[in-house]
């Protein structure tokens, strides 16, 4: 006969108490507390206070249950967490990180406000008209209102920068799969609240809006030619100015929307800089914040721009299905906007996701439609930040798709066409395409084409600071090392020189 355990504390029950479901100590303590209350005496316990100070909610839950006592089922019912999640939390296999859920947890157990550094609902004032934008937290349940306060909090969170080292990829993403889809769904359906601030600060004049917008555009063109390496700090500083205006200045509805659009555009660029540098956690946090700002701006094109980079990140870190879903959502949202360049760009990102999944037919259909749209030329509603979207870009993405699908000869041909069509100033893009072209040529058996493309990629990369480009070059060099060719050693040595020069 297996040991029966107390349903409250888990200890082994005596075999003589065959009718009992709880041990004697728990039975004596039961009248003191039901499953929906925590007695105030627990907050005097040193271990409870220590766990609360460290925000170690798993340890806090275990200690509370031991003192009261409570079953895991009781604590789960009390806090709104599932019993399975609470079990993993107490075992240290997961963490409670969403601020809204943390607040709900602490409110549910009655944590005294003076012991908690977070804004508990029980201690908050209920005056949303006067609530400072900076007071709300950025993340939490995705169905929470998409308010201006959450937008600013998310942007501030995005400005805290990259980790000291490049962390892993998929493991450190904020959202993926169903959670990411739910977040983007809310962007598509949530109402935007009025964005107007009548504070005592200086009124935002049109010339400042124009200046802020121009700075974002300048950062974008600098990235295209020199890479993201030196730009993240500059973009973060610029975003700080925009957020300060949103928080502290005086502006009308139209100006508020413009400022939110600039914040979305700048945060999208900053997120891209993080991604290009290999900081995937910081990149996704920043792009999600950009999506909140895009929502507040009322312009779905800004949101589509942020989502396009989320799609690139998704298929780059091994989540191509997310990339397809994200681009489909973006295309649905901008369906009423006549912007052939924007739709073409979204289709190429969707095609890359299909190619990563080995879905040839959906990939080729998306590329065919993107080519048709790109050939239409510019339209009035094409966003200015999409100046780089042209036939050369579509050709390069088409080549990349064929490379993913294993059609190396066709990929090499498309890369050559892309090279002939790209803007010479887009050095980073040309270097990336050249490195991929080298792989396509070598995999197709064309060594001459492969060495020529690799040589071109190294020449272009010398002046570009991009961790993503470096990763592509290292891949090509590793392919070259396997060849029995006298040119291989020379190219490997040259790559070492270029990499060393870039690092210095």
DSSP letter string, 31-89: GG--TT---GGGGG-HHHHHHHHTT-HHHHHHHHHHHTT--HHHHHHHHT--HHHHHHH
Length of the chain: 504
Query: For 15-39, what is the mean pLDDT?
Result: 53
pLDDT at position 214 is 94
Identify the pLDDT of residue 126: 39
pLDDT of residue 97: 64
Phi, psi at 278, each rounded to 5°: 90, 10
Query: Is 470 within the bounds of a domain?
Result: yes
Q: What is the mean pLDDT of residues 130-144?
A: 48
Domain boundary among 67, 88, 111: 111
Q: pLDDT tens for residues 394-415?
A: 999 999 999 999 999 999 999 9
pLDDT per residue as tens digits for the range 300-310: 999 999 999 99
Residue 279 lies in a domain: no
Q: CB of 213 within 8 A of CB of 176?
A: no
Highest mean pLDDT among 363-372, 458-467, 468-477: 363-372
* Residue with tokens 């091994």, as numbered in its chain: 318
Residue 244 has pLDDT above 80, yes or no: yes
Domain assignment of residue 198, yes or no: no
| C-alpha–C-alpha distance, residues 424 and 120, integer Å | 55
User: How many whole angstroms separate alpha carbon 244 and alpha carbon 173?
Assistant: 27
- Stretch 120-148: mean pLDDT: 50
What CATH number did the domain enclosing 82 receive? 1.10.260
Bin 292: left if φ > 0, else alpha if -120 < ψ < 50, else beta: alpha
What band does 135 get if pLDDT is binned at 50, 70 and 90?
very low
Q: Is the dihedral of CA 213, 215, 219, 221 positive or negative?
A: positive
Residue 129 lies in a domain: no
Confidence band, pLDDT 50/70/90 cuts, at residue 29: very low
Both tokens assigned to 396: 């390069």
Domain membership of residue 277 (yes or no) is: no
CA atoms of 492 and 38, how far apart (whole Å) = 67
Give domain status of residue 234, yes or no.
Answer: no
- Please tell me the least confidently modeled range out of 22-36, 218-232, 489-503: 22-36
Indicate the pLDDT class of residue 173, thresholds 50, 70 and 90: low
* Rounded distance between C-alpha atoms, residue 476 and residue 288, angstroms: 32
Q: Is the pTM of this model over 0.85?
A: no
pLDDT of residue 32: 38
Q: Decide which of 82, 111, 140 is a domain's last residue.
A: 111
Q: Where are the beta strands (DSSP E) in 267-338?
A: none
State the residue range of the domain holding 479.
Answer: 407-504
Last residue of a domain, one of 94, 111, 128: 111
Q: Choose between 25 and 483: higher pLDDT.
A: 483
Q: Can you read off the two tokens belonging to residue 501?
A: 């020069």
Q: How many domains does the chain have?
A: 2
Q: Output the pLDDT for position 14.
A: 62
The larger pLDDT score, comparing residue 462 to residue 210, is at 210
Answer whether residue 332 shows pLDDT above 80.
Answer: yes
């Amino acid at each position: 006969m297996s040991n029966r355990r107390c349903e409250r504390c888990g200890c082994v029950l005596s075999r003589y108490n065959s009718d009992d479901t709880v041990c004697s100590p728990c039975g004596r303590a039961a009248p003191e507390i039901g499953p929906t209350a925590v007695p105030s005496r627990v907050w005097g316990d040193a271990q409870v206070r220590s766990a609360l100070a460290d925000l170690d909610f798993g340890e806090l839950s275990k200690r509370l249950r031991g003192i009261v006592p409570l079953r895991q089922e009781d604590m789960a019912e009390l806090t709104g967490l599932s019993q399975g999640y609470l079990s993993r939390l107490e075992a240290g296999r997961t963490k409670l990180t969403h601020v809204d859920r943390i607040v709900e947890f602490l409110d549910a157990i009655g944590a005294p406000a003076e012991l908690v550094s977070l804004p508990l609902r029980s201690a908050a004032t209920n005056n949303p008209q006067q609530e400072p934008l900076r007071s709300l937290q950025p993340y939490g349940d995705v169905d929470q209102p998409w308010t201006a306060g959450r937008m600013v909090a998310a942007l501030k969170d995005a400005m805290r920068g990259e980790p000291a080292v490049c962390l892993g990829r998929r493991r450190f993403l904020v959202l993926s799969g169903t959670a990411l889809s739910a977040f983007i769904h809310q962007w598509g359906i949530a109402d935007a609240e009025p964005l107007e601030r009548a504070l005592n600060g200086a009124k935002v004049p049109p010339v400042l809006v124009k200046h802020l917008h121009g700075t974002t555009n300048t950062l974008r063109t600098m990235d295209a030619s020199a890479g993201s390496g030196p730009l993240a700090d500059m973009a973060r500083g610029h975003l700080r100015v925009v957020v300060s205006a949103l928080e502290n200045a005086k502006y009308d509805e139209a100006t508020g929307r413009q400022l939110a659009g600039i914040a979305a555009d700048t945060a999208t660029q900053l997120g891209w800089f993080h991604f290009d540098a290999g900081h995937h956690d910081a990149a996704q946090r920043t792009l999600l914040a950009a999506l909140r700002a895009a929502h507040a701006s009322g312009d779905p094109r800004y949101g589509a721009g942020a989502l396009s980079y989320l799609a690139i990140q998704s298929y780059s870190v091994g989540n191509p299905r997310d990339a397809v879903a994200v681009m489909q959502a973006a295309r649905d949202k901008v369906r009423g906007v006549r912007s052939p360049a924007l739709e073409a760009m979204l289709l190429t990102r969707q095609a890359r996701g299909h190619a990563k999944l080995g879905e040839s037919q959906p990939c080729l259909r998306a590329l065919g439609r993107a080519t048709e749209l790109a050939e239409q030329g510019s339209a009035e509603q094409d966003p200015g930040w999409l100046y780089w979207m042209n036939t050369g870009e579509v050709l390069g993405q088409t080549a990349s798709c064929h490379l993913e699908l294993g059609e190396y000869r066709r990929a090499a041909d498309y890369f050559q066409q892309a090279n002939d069509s790209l803007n010479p100033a887009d050095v980073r893009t040309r270097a990336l395409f050249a490195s991929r072209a080298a792989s396509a040529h070598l995999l197709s058996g064309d060594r001459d084409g492969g060495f020529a493309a690799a040589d071109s990629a190294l020449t272009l990369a010398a002046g570009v600071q991009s961790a993503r480009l470096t990763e592509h070059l290292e891949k090509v060099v590793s392919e070259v090392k396997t060849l029995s060719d006298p040119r291989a050693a020379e190219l490997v040595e040259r790559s070492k020189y270029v990499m060393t020069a870039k690092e210095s």
